[in-house]
Structure 1
Amino acid sequence: MIHPPQPNLQTALGHELKHELAITRRVLERAPTEQFGWQPHAKSMSLGTLAGHIANLIGFLELSLQGAAFDLATNKLPDNPATAADVLARFDLNADNLHQALADISDDAFNDIWSLTHGDKTLLSLPRTAVVRTMVLNHLIHHRGQLSVYLRLLDIPVPAIYGGSADEAP
């Protein structure tokens, strides 16, 4: 039996990221600046904080592809964008940078261990493949789902994600 060649990790991940980032951007496009202070519960993030976290989150993947570690004690994380336009601009910049970082990494480097530290304390140390899947993609999808619920609660039309929504056909 002949098996077709398997795509390399960059290609496979690149296709998945392109798809997930396009969906995520459509959800972010619905988040209005005037609702950035709204939160569904006192323990929940505000809409603006959540949207900014999503925009910044994909930059975390770029960091994990470019170095062996990231130290939270010596590196400042970006501030949250203040407006919907700023969220989309940050998201687009991080997405472009991510695709470039992905193009520059080898399949072998995906097996390398990447660490998140705070000074001398290691917070996590995982193969890059696990960082990509759990700390970024799954995390991104989780928060995108939260944001779609925020939109619904604010009576803002929710875009189609993996199929139609009550507001939009696929």
Structure 2
Amino acid sequence: MSIKDGFLVELERETNNTRRIIDRLKDEDLAYKPHEKSMSLGDLLGHVVELHNWVGTALLKNDFNLQTDYQPLKPSTVAELKEALDAGYKVNEQQISSFPEEDWFKTWTMRVGDYVIGEMPKLGALRFVIFNHLIHHRGQATVYLRLLNIAVPGLYGPSADEQK
């Protein structure tokens, strides 16, 4: 199995997990904030979806500058989240499928202006900056669901809401 074949499996599974959360929401849920310092559920899931979509955008660059290359996804409806996730999945799948094996080891830099946040091989950027980061924020979203009394889907096995 090649590196990209492994990432294609992970991409599909993580995209499906994110979709399972979004599918449980109504538009009015997106405004929910559990605390004044928290992001709204819409902003949080907008960030999760945009992180998914960094596979097809940010990862293709060798130098990703948050100041010039990043535009936050600010969805106002659940349909917008679904559209962005689904459109991004197709691009992500195509980009990973056509990504040359040797490019996984090229250095990827993330910065804000001239300040370098980190440098790592693209392989590490996909795992650490994109997948781990979106999984972390998606986990936060499951807490929001619990607080809204929306059944939490089992993402890596059954959830308490799926137990009978």
Say which one has the larger Rg. Answer: 1
Q: Structure 1 pair 79/27, CA: closer, same or farther in 2 (3 Å)?
A: closer
Matched residue type, 1:24: T
Which residue is 2:52 aligned to? 58
* Pairwise CA distance, 1:25: 0.8
> Where in structure 1 do 4 or more consecutive aligned residues deviate above 4 Å?
none
TM-score (structure 2 length as normaliser): 0.92
* Pairwise CA distance, 1:49: 0.6
* Pairwise CA distance, 1:79: 3.3
Which residue is 1:4 aligned to? none
CA distance in 2: counterparts of 1:107 and 1:28, whole angstroms: 33
Counting matched residue pairs gives 163
Residue correspondence of structure 1 range 1-170 to structure 2 within 5 A: 7-168=1-162
- The more displaced of 159-168 and 132-141 is 159-168
* Pairwise CA distance, 1:92: 0.8
Matched residue type, 2:90: D
User: Where does structure 2 lack aligned partners over 5 or more consecutive residues?
Assistant: none
Query: 1:31·1:51 contact (CA, 8 Å) conserved in 2?
Result: no
SS in 2 for 1:51: helix
Which residue is 1:3 aligned to? none
Q: Structure 1 pair 35/78, CA: closer, same or farther in 2 (3 Å)?
A: same
SS in 2 for 1:124: strand
* Pairwise CA distance, 1:130: 1.0
Query: 2:52·2:130 contact (CA, 8 Å) conserved in 1?
Result: yes
- The more displaced of 133-142 and 58-67 is 58-67
User: What value does the CA root-mean-square deviation take over the aligned residues?
Assistant: 1.5
- The more displaced of 160-169 and 19-28 is 160-169
* Pairwise CA distance, 1:48: 0.8
TM-score (structure 1 length as normaliser): 0.89
Q: Identity of counterpart residues, as a percentage?
A: 36
Matched residue type, 2:162: E
The structure richer in helix per residue is 2
User: Where does structure 1 lack aligned partners over 5 or more consecutive residues?
Assistant: 1-6
* Pairwise CA distance, 1:116: 1.6
